[in-house]
Amino acid sequence: MYGWFLYAHIASVAGFLLAHGTSAAMALRLRQEKTPDGIRSLTDLSKQTTNIMYGFIVLVVITGVFLGFQGSWWSHGWIWAAIVLLILTIGVMSALGRGYNAVRGAVGLPVRSGRQVKTTAPAPPDDPERGLRFICLNANISRQFEFLQNGWLMNTKFSGLTGESDPLLGNRQPIPNCPVTDNFTRQKDDGLRCRVSGLPQFVTVRGGAYFFLPSLRALCYFAGAGNT
């Protein structure tokens, strides 16, 4: 009986590492994926392998407790160290995995919030494309609009952060010395801040132009130029 439980314990650890490795690989691949369908597939596969991983954790605990009693290992320090390490690992994985809920919700997948499961339904196939028209009037374009765009929205090191651009307007394109720009950090007053990785590009610029608009004073000058 002891031998069978030992074999099951080792097999459970191997299964846990395999399922966790698959989920981690999906998370790393998510950083490079830009399309909503690709993000949806990766996050859904990661969720499925995560559920399998927790099943293996339960088997690791059950077989480990049995082996601890059968082998009289509870008086040894290493078994308690292993339990503490397992608890810390589960806690770290849960904290890191929470950040991907925002990504799942953004592509229409169900997200658990407490005891509730929320789903943001994607647009129907026949839903027409929509867009925004943006106009900005500036007295000094280099110190106003372009400064806001380059110094704030697209700045990957804005306010002490790194590796991220504006979560809504950022284009997620790599720049020199910063190959990753698709992260987003949610600040929290009562806990550790949460970082979300693999944000898709939500806004695509179709076109734009700069136009010179004379001031009222200039228009008055032009209007009276023929009378002088």
What digits encode the pLDDT tens for the residues 162-215?
Answer: 778 888 887 787 777 777 888 887 777 777 777 777 778 888 888 888 888 888
Do both 159 and 94 map to the same domain? no
Do both 93 and 149 map to the same domain? no
Contact 203, 36 (CB under 8 A): no
CA distances from 213 to 119, 144, 149, 218, 222 (A): 46, 16, 21, 10, 13
Domain membership flag for residue 222: no
Query: Could you list the residue range(s) of the whole structural domain that residue 188 is in?
Result: 135-204
Do both 106 and 155 map to the same domain? no
**36: confidence class by pLDDT, cuts 50, 70, 90:** low
Domain membership flag for residue 82: yes
As a whole-number percent, the residues of the chain with pLDDT over 90 amount to 0
Can you tell me which residue has the tokens 């010395």? 177
Domain membership flag for residue 184: yes
Tell me the whole-structure pTM to 2 decimals: 0.46
Q: Return the bridge partners of 191, or none.
A: none
Domain membership flag for residue 92: yes
If one counts the domains in the chain, the total is 2
Domain membership flag for residue 52: yes
Question: Under 8 Å CB-to-CB from 143, ≥6 apart: which residues?
Answer: none
Do both 48 and 106 map to the same domain? yes
Do both 48 and 93 map to the same domain? yes
Do both 143 and 98 map to the same domain? no
Domain membership flag for residue 215: no
pLDDT digits (tens, 9 = 90+) for 155-165: 777 777 777 88
Contact 165, 202 (CB under 8 A): no
Determine the Cα–Cα distance for residues 154 and 184; give it in Å rounded to an integer.
12
User: Looking at 47-51, 88-92, 108-112, 223-227, which range is the least confident one?
Assistant: 108-112
Average pLDDT, the chain: 77
Can you tell me which residue has the tokens 């290493």? 78
Beta strands in the chain (DSSP E): 111-113, 116-118, 184-186, 194-196
Q: Which of 194, 160, 200, 206 is closest to 181 using CA atoms? A: 200
